[in-house]
């Protein structure tokens, strides 16, 4: 999507030096969304192949998102970022970098309330689309709190609700240790797992420290990290 000439400097895409683009992965087709299908709530994918999905909630943030991206770029891996709408302003450059690197977006509500209403959800989708041209087909409930009414609201907006079966505990309290996060993931991961991590508000130093060792462990055990849409067999849409 073309952006206006009046884009603020704080919203501009990060420079190559700031984002480590000199070591960027090969250009990816421009993702524009995905097509939801199947049951409206999923906590994992098929157990029949060694695919896992790594997900990051609550960003984008200046403090953590760019550092997560740098580690993923080094390993040439693609993940799913569950975007919190209220943090998009001032960070559209980070969103565009995520998309350029081949990652996908999902909706995590606007202000992170329990059981968000329809406007909380639709507002975030609209902001993601305006900033990047991408329309998410996946949603994650704040705090993982769901009921039938929320699942119905989300499905009416053409999205599936995504939970997880591996919680890294990286947002359980501030400064969760690298060791705790690492052990939570590597001891619980199975084929088809959806792994919950965070790049949003709070203190996630342990997340940054644990991410590299987690990725190395998954690689040694022949797990392939893929976006949630691929894990669930959803069709990805790309720009022509």
CA distances from 224 to 50, 51, 221, 231 (A): 6, 5, 9, 10
Catalytic one among 57, 101, 170, 199?
57
Q: Any catalytic annotation for residue 198? A: yes
What whole-number distance in Å separates Cα of residue 156 and Cα of residue 80?
Answer: 21
Measured at the alpha carbon of residue 135, what is the angle toward residues 134 and 136, in degrees to the nearest 5? 110
Instruction: Show the beta-strand stretches assigned E in the chain.
Output: 31-35, 41-42, 51-57, 80-83, 104-107, 138-139, 160-162, 166-167, 194-198, 224-225, 235-238
What whole-number distance in Å separates Cα of residue 107 and Cα of residue 78?
Answer: 17
CB 196 within 8 A of CB 227: no
Catalytic one among 78, 198, 199, 204?
198
Q: Any catalytic annotation for residue 11? A: no
CB 114 within 8 A of CB 145: yes
Q: What amino acid positions are annotated as catalytic residues?
A: 57, 198
């Amino acid at each position: 999507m073309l952006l206006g000439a009046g884009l603020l400097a704080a919203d501009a895409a990060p420079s190559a030096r700031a984002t480590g683009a000199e070591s960027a992965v090969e250009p990816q087709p421009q993702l524009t969304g995905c097509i939801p299908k199947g049951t409206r709530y999923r906590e994992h994918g098929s157990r029949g192949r060694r695919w896992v999905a790594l997900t990051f909630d609550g960003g984008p943030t200046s403090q953590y998102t760019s550092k997560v991206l740098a580690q993923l770029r080094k390993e040439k891996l693609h993940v799913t970022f569950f975007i919190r709408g209220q943090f998009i302003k001032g960070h559209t450059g980070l969103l565009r970098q995520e998309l350029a690197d081949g990652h996908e977006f999902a909706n995590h509500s606007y202000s992170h309330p329990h059981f968000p209403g329809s406007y909380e959800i639709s507002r975030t989708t609209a902001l993601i689309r305006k900033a990047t041209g991408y329309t998410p087909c996946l949603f994650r409930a704040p705090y993982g709190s769901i009921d039938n009414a929320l699942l119905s609201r989300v499905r009416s907006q053409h999205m599936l609700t995504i939970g997880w079966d591996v919680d890294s505990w990286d947002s359980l309290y501030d400064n969760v240790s690298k060791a705790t996060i690492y052990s939570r993931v590597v001891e619980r991961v199975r084929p088809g797992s959806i792994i919950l991590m965070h790049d949003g508000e709070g203190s996630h130093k342990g997340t940054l420290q644990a991410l590299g060792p987690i990725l190395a462990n998954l690689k040694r055990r022949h797990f392939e990290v893929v976006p949630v849409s691929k894990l669930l067999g959803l069709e990805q849409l790309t720009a022509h």
